[in-house]
Chain A
Amino acid sequence: MDDARETSSSVSLHNTKTPLHKTIPRRKPSMENLDRFIPNRSAMDFDYADYVLTTARKGNKIKGEGSPRKEAYRKGLAELFNMNRPRILACKNKPPVFKTLFPEPTSSVNQGALVKPQRYIPQTSERTLDAPDIGDNYYLNLLDWGSNNVFAIGLGNTLYLWDASDSSTTELFTIDDENGPITSLRWASDGRNLAVGLNNLEVQIWDVVSNRRMRTLRGGHSSRVGSLDWNEHILSTGGMDGVITNNDARISNHIVEKYEGHQLEVCGLNWSSSGQQLASGGNDNLLHIWDHSMATSNSRTQWLHRLDDHTAAVKALAWCPFHSSVLASGGGVGDHHITFWNTHTGACLNSVDTGSQSPNGCTVASATGDETLRFWNVFGIPEVVANPAPKTNLEPFASFSRIR
């Protein structure tokens, strides 16, 4: 303690430098407090002491007078601490601060598939691969990412598999010109079976592990199959004839059900994760919800909901990963809206204008008319490390448009 100095300083300053005395507010300016103090812990009021100490350092305004003010402060503190509220405590030692690295700032990607700058979408693709001969047709579904982290793409008459874990490409098969080109493809949930629709109206099911064609489904459609989706062993196929056929891949008489409701090509098909409902989007701007348990005996099933809010072809469909009956649908050029539905009631929850051509809604890879295949690191998580894309597929919000 700076007692030696204080003897010569002003009296008031001296007093405030010995706060321990202040339990009994005495302002008697005296020099008698030069002795060493033996602190009496129980009599100490640390908060008050702290207050006095700190204000003294700042060039004390209270200057030893105004003891009633100090008294009132102490009283106020006591009241505060006794209030019947939960205490809110925070750790004294704060966690460290990191300057985080962010990808490039948002700006529209491709033709502005972003709805709002709520996520940083990198402007450059993570990876670009050549995709020659890719069918430049909006209504076909030529890409799919399997749960085995293998990406399948149909280029013309050939189906290629790209393994994301080692970046290797293999050719699964090539079909001859009169039967091709490939019009749609979709992985089964086991990541092993791949359904491929061809222009010759057939749908082939391939096993990619043994590289063999397991089955060919014929007779389900009168025109090409542009969209497919699996529901366990059921493969739903959507055709240019507007018909959706449910095929049981296990039995020879494979057609188990037909959903008729679309007047034009069915370009989007998506089963909910529970396998209860199928959403289908068509070139007729309609979105149908079909309920799997509503099968009727005469194999012509009525739709559960017919939603006609879109003003262009509905191709992009995705179910919400955390709400089992919320579906998002994206409309095409004339519509450019993403609409959210409650599929139990058929009510429209929300509709967002993307201001641009609709998102692809299928994958986080976009295949474009300029014959390249780009992979976009949309979610900030490297797609090769994280769970395979089918999980990330479910967020159409941040996926990409086709460059036409």
Chain B
Amino acid sequence: MGSKTTTKDIITLRGSAAIVSEFFGYAANSILYNRGVYPEESFVKVKKYGLSMLLTQDETVKSFITNLNAQLSEWLESGKLQRIVLVIMSKATSEVLERWNFSIETDKEVVEKGVSREKSDKEIMREIQAIMKQIISSITYLPCLEEPCVFDVLAYTDNDVEVPFTWVESDPKLIENPQMVKLHSFDTKIHKVNTMVSYKNDEWNEE
């Protein structure tokens, strides 16, 4: 950045895991709102990351995401989470229409040795803000979802992870011949999150 020295904050493994899982919660809400998975009226605006973010009011969706985040935090702290994928599928046919992929690179040294890192909180927030803006503006190129949709969340973990009672093995729910767009990434110096969206190639392609 510039010549100004930005004050750096200490980031612990736990703190970083919290940042990442919180980011995912907001990103998931934003995607659900933007893609019309749930009706707009069921969302409420809150201020976060210096933006107006939308959060669902629906209790079941809320608790789903909260429980999810708790589990993700745990996996993140153990350094075993490789990626989180939010899939959007057609309600009628269960065909996967969109796949929001958040891949995570973890600094193993932090997990093994329990050290902490330094980075300015503000800078992390700025990076996240950039991704959120991109998610919001993705509506300009993502094909319109013309039917009722459902979503699901997949977690890619290390092989040696103990599968909690409420989780099952799943197939990756890939899209055939997808179009892919890579979005910005953010880095807490402990976890680096790369975002990418892949979507079904629709017939109305520009020549």
A residues apposed to B, CB below 8 Å:
83-102, 116-120, 321-322, 350, 352, 379-381, 387, 395, 397
Across the A-B interface, give the 3 residue pairs with the lowest CB-CB distance, nearest first.
A90-B170, A86-B156, A89-B167
- Cβ contacts under 8 Å, B139 to chain A: 119, 379
Distance in Å: Cβ of A198 to nearest Cβ of chain B: 36
Contact with A along B51-93 (1 / 0, CB 8 A): 0100000101100100110000000000000110000000100
> Apart from A95-B151, A96-B58, what 12 extra A-B contacts exist at CB < 8 Å?
A84-B159, A86-B156, A86-B157, A87-B156, A88-B156, A89-B154, A90-B154, A90-B170, A94-B152, A97-B148, A98-B37, A397-B140
List, sorted by A's number, 18 A–B pairs whose CB atoms are closer than 8 Å. Answer: A83-B159, A86-B157, A86-B158, A87-B156, A87-B161, A89-B155, A89-B156, A90-B168, A91-B67, A94-B150, A95-B61, A97-B150, A98-B58, A102-B36, A118-B143, A379-B139, A380-B36, A381-B40
Contact with A along B105-117 (1 / 0, CB 8 A): 0000000000000
Whose C-beta in chain A lies nearest to the C-beta of B151?
Answer: A95
Say whether A88 contacts B60, CB under 8 Å. Answer: no
Whose C-beta in chain B lies nearest to the C-beta of A80?
Answer: B169
Bound complex: CA A88 to CA B52 (Å)? 32
Whose C-beta in chain B lies nearest to the C-beta of A98?
Answer: B38
Say whether A91 contacts B140, CB under 8 Å. Answer: no
Majority DSSP secondary structure for residues of A touching B: loop
- Cβ contacts under 8 Å, A96 to chain B: 58, 60-61, 64
Q: B149 near A: Cβ within 8 Å?
A: yes
Q: B2 near A: Cβ within 8 Å?
A: no
Distance in Å: Cβ of A353 to nearest Cβ of chain B: 9
Say whether A95 contacts B204, CB under 8 Å. Answer: no
Distance in Å: Cβ of B16 to nearest Cβ of chain A: 20
Distance in Å: Cβ of B38 to nearest Cβ of chain A: 5
Q: B134 near A: Cβ within 8 Å?
A: yes
Bound complex: CA A397 to CA B137 (Å)? 13
Bound complex: CA A55 to CA B151 (Å)? 30
Q: Given the known A-B contacts A94-B152, A395-B140, are A89 and B82 also in contact in the complex, defined by CB atoms under 8 Å? A: no
Contact with A along B27-54 (1 / 0, CB 8 A): 0000000001111101000000000100
Q: Among the listed B39, B146, B159, which residue makes an inter-chain contact with A87, where contact means beta carbons less than 8 Å apart?
A: B159
Q: Given the known A-B contacts A100-B37, A395-B140, are A90 and B148 also in contact in the complex, defined by CB atoms under 8 Å? A: no
Bound complex: CA A96 to CA B39 (Å)? 13
Distance in Å: Cβ of B126 to nearest Cβ of chain A: 15
Say whether B204 contacts A117, CB under 8 Å. Answer: yes
Say whether A100 contacts B39, CB under 8 Å. Answer: yes
Whose C-beta in chain B lies nearest to the C-beta of A322?
Answer: B137
Distance in Å: Cβ of B155 to nearest Cβ of chain A: 5
Bound complex: CA A256 to CA B161 (Å)? 66
Majority DSSP secondary structure for residues of B touching A: mixed
Q: B182 near A: Cβ within 8 Å?
A: no
Bound complex: CA A320 to CA B199 (Å)? 21
Q: Given the known A-B contacts A100-B38, A397-B140, are A93 and B64 also in contact in the complex, defined by CB atoms under 8 Å? A: yes
Bound complex: CA A90 to CA B170 (Å)? 6
Bound complex: CA A393 to CA B39 (Å)? 24
- Cβ contacts under 8 Å, A119 to chain B: 139, 144
Bound complex: CA A322 to CA B40 (Å)? 24
Say whether A85 contacts B150, CB under 8 Å. Answer: no
Bound complex: CA A64 to CA B101 (Å)? 45
Bound complex: CA A71 to CA B77 (Å)? 38
Say whether B159 contacts A85, CB under 8 Å. Answer: yes
Say whether A88 contacts B143, CB under 8 Å. Answer: no
Q: B171 near A: Cβ within 8 Å?
A: yes
Say whether B168 contacts A89, CB under 8 Å. Answer: yes
Bound complex: CA A173 to CA B152 (Å)? 56
Bound complex: CA A89 to CA B159 (Å)? 11
Bound complex: CA A381 to CA B150 (Å)? 21
Bound complex: CA A238 to CA B94 (Å)? 54
Distance in Å: Cβ of B103 to nearest Cβ of chain A: 11
Q: B8 near A: Cβ within 8 Å?
A: no
Q: Among the listed A88, A352, A381, which residue makes an inter-chain contact with B155, where contact means beta carbons less than 8 Å apart?
A: A88
Whose C-beta in chain A lies nearest to the C-beta of B36?
Answer: A100
Bound complex: CA A94 to CA B37 (Å)? 14
Bound complex: CA A117 to CA B36 (Å)? 16
Whose C-beta in chain B lies nearest to the C-beta of A120?
Answer: B144
Distance in Å: Cβ of B135 to nearest Cβ of chain A: 10
Bound complex: CA A116 to CA B141 (Å)? 12
Bound complex: CA A101 to CA B148 (Å)? 8
Say whether B172 contacts A91, CB under 8 Å. Answer: no
- Cβ contacts under 8 Å, A97 to chain B: 91, 148, 150
Bound complex: CA A86 to CA B140 (Å)? 33
Q: Given the known A-B contacts A321-B137, A322-B137, A380-B40, are A88 and B154 also in contact in the complex, defined by CB atoms under 8 Å? A: yes
Bound complex: CA A395 to CA B137 (Å)? 10
Say whether B157 contacts A89, CB under 8 Å. Answer: yes
Q: Given the known A-B contacts A84-B159, A97-B91, A100-B39, are A352 and B206 also in contact in the complex, defined by CB atoms under 8 Å? A: yes
Whose C-beta in chain B lies nearest to the C-beta of A95?
Answer: B64
Q: B133 near A: Cβ within 8 Å?
A: yes
Q: Given the known A-B contacts A95-B60, A100-B148, are A90 and B153 also in contact in the complex, defined by CB atoms under 8 Å? A: yes
- Cβ contacts under 8 Å, B36 to chain A: 100, 102, 380
- Cβ contacts under 8 Å, A322 to chain B: 133-134, 137
Bound complex: CA A117 to CA B144 (Å)? 8
Distance in Å: Cβ of A337 to nearest Cβ of chain B: 12
Q: Given the known A-B contacts A87-B169, A90-B153, A90-B168, are A116 and B60 also in contact in the complex, defined by CB atoms under 8 Å? A: no
Say whether B148 contacts A88, CB under 8 Å. Answer: no
